[in-house]
Amino acid sequence: MTPSLNQKRSQQSQHIDARRRHHILAFVSYITSAVMFIYGFKNLHAELWLLPLILFITGSCFLVNVLVYQATKKLQRACTIEALLVGAFVLSLVYQGGHNNTALYWVFPFPAILFGLLGVRHALISNAFLVLTLAVMLFTPDLILAEYKDAETSRFLASLIIVIIVCWINDHYRERSHEAMELLQQSKELQANTDALTGLVNRRFLDSSLLPALAQQSDEFFPLAVIMCDIDHFKRLNDQFGHDVGDEVLKSVAHLFQQNLRQQDIACRTGGEEFLLILPHTSAIDARKVAEKIRLQFPQQRWVTNDTNYPVTASFGVAECNQTEQFYEAVKLADQQLYQAKHQGRNQVCG
């Protein structure tokens, strides 16, 4: 499987996670700010002016942050700023006490919000810092305006820690579950797209994975060269030594390809003894050199254990394409060149 196709799957997973964080960011920004404005107006005539000030400033900052995100599309930055705003709001609200000293009741939703915005690791660190700061504030009454009972503060902190632990367990195993499902899906796709004998990709891979990648990431592939390869007189080898020996030869040929191709190149088993080599950013001239290099190594190998001198050779056909629509035309042309090589005596490269 090529790095670019693995990268595509990774990008799809990241896109789904980004959508999740996007919705959490939007909810916190719009809904929470609306609630803050409502309670801010309700407390405008209260004796304590600090509460509506905290609510109006935080709500406004939430809105500014989400609007800047909508303009710049920088999700990570927006989520980090949102998390900082959440932390500042929680600390300032607990410091002030809220309406009728109810600030502690409003803290409980925010640990879950931090997990949604930051991910498990960063949210756990942020929540731990938040709990530690709150503990210092609550057990040092001179540091804050609000007055909380000792029993109230201890039970609040214990409950908050429980909420954080539950959020951590939930998000931790949610991430592990998603990773496991992604690995399972990749495993299923790999099995479906892989030839069981040689470990190379099969013909199904071309339609299900390669062609979509060519269309979506053309700059990473074109110009692209294709090489068709066919083992000469393979039926004769099978008839003389048996299919088990033939299978071992096929596996050895696959290994030979892997030794001589670059990481971004693709070796595909398309039939019994036929192989297709796909070389991104390669001209037909350079592909012919690659095919010739591989061809010259065939006589040097000891393919058959029972008869180390038994000759195994291969014929090659080469073609080039510059856009996705030409891919199968190039494969057909390379196949024609392969048959030309066989017609001219085998053990050669045409194209």
Q: Which amino acid is at 348?
A: Q
Pick the last residue of a domain from 131, 156, 185.
Answer: 185
Is residue 191 one of the residues assigned to a domain?
no
Check whether residue 287 and residue 177 sit in a common domain: no
Residues 301 and 262 in one domain: yes
Contacts of 83 (CB under 8 A, 6+ apart): 113, 114, 117, 118, 123, 126
Residue environment code for 186-205, b if the CB has 16+ CB neighbours within 10 A, otherwise e: eeebeeebbbeebebbbeeb
SS3 letters across 123-144: HHHHHHHHHHHHHHHHCCHHHC
Which of 185, 219, 236 terminates a domain? The answer is 185
**Residue 146 shares a structural domain with residue 266:** no
User: Quick check: is 195 in a domain?
Assistant: no
Domain membership flag for residue 196: no
Summarize pLDDT for 224-282 with one digit per residue, the tens. Answer: 999 999 999 999 999 999 999 999 999 999 999 999 998 889 999 998 999 999 999 99
| Environment class of 219 (CB within 10 Å of its CB; exposed 0-12, middle 13-18, buried 19+) | exposed
Measuring CA to CA, how many Å separate 291 from each of 37, 225, 279, 319?
Answer: 71, 11, 11, 11
Last residue of a domain, one of 124, 154, 185: 185
pLDDT, residue 218, reads 85
Query: Quick one: 235 and 133 in the same domain?
Result: no
In a shared domain, residues 257 and 169: no
pLDDT score for 205 = 86
Q: What is the per-residue pLDDT for 282?
A: 93
In this structure, are 107 and 225 located in the same domain? no
pLDDT at 172: 82
Question: Looking at the domain assignment, is residue 121 inside a domain?
Answer: yes
Q: What is the DSSP letter of 316?
A: E
Nearest alpha carbon to residue 291 among 278, 280, 309 = 278
Is residue 25 in some structural domain? yes
Q: How many CB atoms lie within 10 A of CB 47?
A: 6
Number of domains into which the chain is organized: 2
Among 155, 88, 95, residue whose Cα is nearest residue 126: 88
147 is catalytic: no
Residue 101 within any structural domain of the chain: yes
Identify whether residues 164 and 222 lie together within a single domain. Answer: no
Q: What confidence score (pLDDT) does residue 4 get? A: 46
Amino acid at 55: L
Q: How do residues 21-33 score in pLDDT, each as one tens digit?
A: 899 999 989 999 9
Cβ neighbours, 10 Å, residue 231: 22
> Range of 145's domain?
3-185
Phi, psi of 176, rounded to the nearest 5 degrees: -65, -40
Give the residue ranges of the chain where pLDDT is below 50.
1-5, 183-185, 187-188
Q: What is the pLDDT at residue 151?
A: 84
**Is there a single domain that holds both residue 217 and residue 343?**
yes
Please indicate, yes or no, whether residues 43 and 116 belong to a single structural domain of this protein.
yes
Within this chain, do residues 126 and 219 fall inside the same structural domain, yes or no?
no
Same domain, 180 and 270: no
Nearest to 55 by CA among 105, 98, 9: 98
265/277 Cα distance (integer angstroms): 7
CATH code at 237?
Answer: 3.30.70.270
Per annotation, catalytic residue among 175, 273, 320, 325 = 273
Q: Classify 321 as helix, strand or coil.
A: strand
Has residue 194 been placed in a domain?
Answer: no
* pLDDT reported for residue 67: 94
Q: Is residue 193 part of a domain?
A: no
3-state secondary structure of 320: strand
Q: Please state, in angstroms and rounded to a whole number, the distance separating the CA atoms of residues 216 and 254.
A: 28
Question: What pLDDT score does 87 carry?
Answer: 93
Are 181 and 205 part of one and the same domain?
A: no
- pLDDT attached to residue 3: 44
